Amino acid sequence: MPFKIAERKPSNKTLADQSIIESAPSSWRRWGISGEALINDLRKPNLQQLENVSPKPALKCLMLPRWPLEQNGEWKGDGEFGRIKVMFVYPVDEVAGRESQSSFCSSSADLQDVPVALKLDFVFPSVAVRENALKSEDYIVKNNLPLGLDIWEDKLFVTVPRWKSDSSSSPLLTPYPSWEYNQLSTDDENATSHDNIISVFRVHVDKCDRLWVMDTGLADILGTASQIKPPTILVFDLNTDTLLRKHSFKDSDIKAKSFFANIVPDVVPENCNTSFAYIPDLGEYGLIVYDWLNDDSWRVEHHYFHFDPLYGNYHVGGVNFQWTDGVFGLALSAADKINGSRTVYFHALSSTNEFAVSNEVLKNKNASSNSYYDYKLLGSRGENTQATSSYYDETSEVLFYTQVNRNGIGCWNSNKPFTPENQALITSDNETFIFPNDLKVRNGNLWVLTDKMPVFIYKTLDSEEINYRIFMASVEDAIKNTTCEIA
């Protein structure tokens, strides 16, 4: 199995200790993140110490975060931005001061990997500020849970929603793209500012170097949920970290139980101003379409957006629970070579069926809600195959999707009929892969974030265990010797 890795519980020792340096088979690389953190205890690893470890792991490269450095008592971090958390990675050669031609390690099939134990936290302006926030309980580390990810050049974005009233809510956190954007003011007038980022579940990088952010506007999601502002789309220029567009949903876009946890842009790189975006409403079984050129949005509804009552039962990480989440995962095919249209693949979370519709239907404001027969049932993935996110890789023509009840990742080669027999479970691990929540394909590599979310919601995460992980492998390796493999 390409996802299978060597595993050991993290210790309190340094990164250089053999107890948390171990090789792992295959081409997968992983970041393990435990539930508690002390950012002021983290330092850039000593490569000389690593080289002296005996027996030495079979290494070709080591994936490390770029630690913020302390200067004059303050943290000067260029890599972590709070709620939309950006992490950089170093190949070992670069960390050691030698030249490296790539921001990421090689993904050759014989690569031996090193899982590095990390702890989830945010960069504060100074150590003193962080300590004060912890003492006052304005910031409680254990209430943070990462959920979504995306990649752009050498940046890895990880989102951390405001799950609870004291998670990611302190204005002391260093945010992306700036401090001001992420402040949650206690002043009633400023608290509802549409410029503030409140709580983000997923982000999406497009081919025009833009970061699309779906801000739910909700705080204290698992407590007494508060709608600080309307659900809002924010789009940033990744080259300048500046806001390009802000669009708040209209009253007609939203219903009483609406919940927007995903966003998928539909972009033509040759003309970025004709972009659209699709935002599923998992709580009220609809889809919001956003038109960039006209700065307009509208709601689309269809029976296929609803959940299947036969597939609302889940067993994950020792937790049994029931969800009624509707349309959730969206993925776009490559553009048709003749007319430029794209297929929008979609599914409800609490369902095993996959559906499809042309993006031309969704982009037509007058027709999108009156085209019942344009929506097609592709088929079923099979029993126990509920999925959160999905992503279509244009190069391989393979649709990847999470498998939350099976703690794994599935795939389907779009050149084959959509049947259970043509689905492949490319990995499944009930220890190291609990609740895959988001995935993306970037530059030929499949990235996956797992986070034990049901345990976080219904029980308590064990801070002595690695609770959140990020995996990466080449698409070619991931689908090798499966029904998804390219013929």
The reply to whether 487 falls in a domain is no
The reply to whether 4 falls in a domain is no
Considering only CA atoms, which of 120, 131, 116, 65 is closest in space to residue 95? 65
Which CATH number is 174's domain given? 2.120.10.30
Name residue, tokens 């690695």. Answer: 466
Q: What is the pLDDT of residue 466?
A: 81
Name residue, tokens 């931005």. Answer: 81
Paired residues of 471 in beta bridges: 30, 448
Q: What does the pLDDT average to over 49-69?
A: 30
Residue 217 predicted with pLDDT over 50: yes
The reply to whether 392 falls in a domain is yes
Give the Cα-Cα-Cα angle 21, 68, 19 (nearest 5 degrees): 15
Please report the beta strands in 18-133, taking only residues with DSSP state E, as ranges in sequence order: 29-34, 64-65, 69-71, 74-76, 84-87, 89-90, 116-119
Candidate from 7-21, 299-313, 340-354 with smallest mean pLDDT: 7-21
Higher pLDDT, 162 or 364: 364
Specify the DSSP element, H or E, that contains 134: helix 127-136
The reply to whether 276 falls in a domain is yes
Which residues have C-beta within 8 Å of that of residue 29, sequence separation ≥ 6?
Answer: 63, 105, 107, 111, 113, 471, 472, 473
Contact 167, 140 (CB under 8 A): yes
In the sheet where 296-301 sits, what is the strand order?
Answer: 264-266, 276-281, 286-291, 296-301
Q: What is the pLDDT of residue 185?
A: 55
Count of structural domains within the chain: 1
Which residues have C-beta within 8 Å of that of residue 132, sequence separation ≥ 6?
Answer: none
Can you tell me the distance from the alpha carbon of 202 to that of 195, in angstroms, rounded to the nearest whole number? Answer: 18
DSSP per-residue letters across 330-386:
EEE-PPPTTT---EEEEEESS-SEEEEEEHHHHH-TTTTTS-GGG-EEEEE--TT--
Paired residues of 402 in beta bridges: 409
Sign of CA dihedral 253, 258, 261, 262: negative
Beta strands 296-301 and 286-291 are: antiparallel
Name residue, tokens 């992503």. Answer: 391
The reply to whether 3 falls in a domain is no
Half-sphere exposure of 455 (CA within 13 A, CB side): 22
pLDDT band, residue 465 (cuts 50/70/90): confident
Higher pLDDT, 377 or 172: 377
pLDDT band, residue 302 (cuts 50/70/90): very high
The reply to whether 63 falls in a domain is yes
Q: What is the pLDDT of residue 141?
A: 53
Candidate from 12-21, 126-135, 214-223, 297-306 with smallest mean pLDDT: 12-21
Sign of CA dihedral 311, 226, 462, 4: positive
The reply to whether 67 falls in a domain is yes
**Residue 17, Cβ neighbours under 10 Å: how many?**
14
The reply to whether 7 falls in a domain is no
Coil, strand or helix: which one is 461? coil
Residue 205 predicted with pLDDT over 80: yes
Residue 195 predicted with pLDDT over 50: yes
**pLDDT, averaged across the chain:** 73
Domain extent, residue 380, equals 18-479
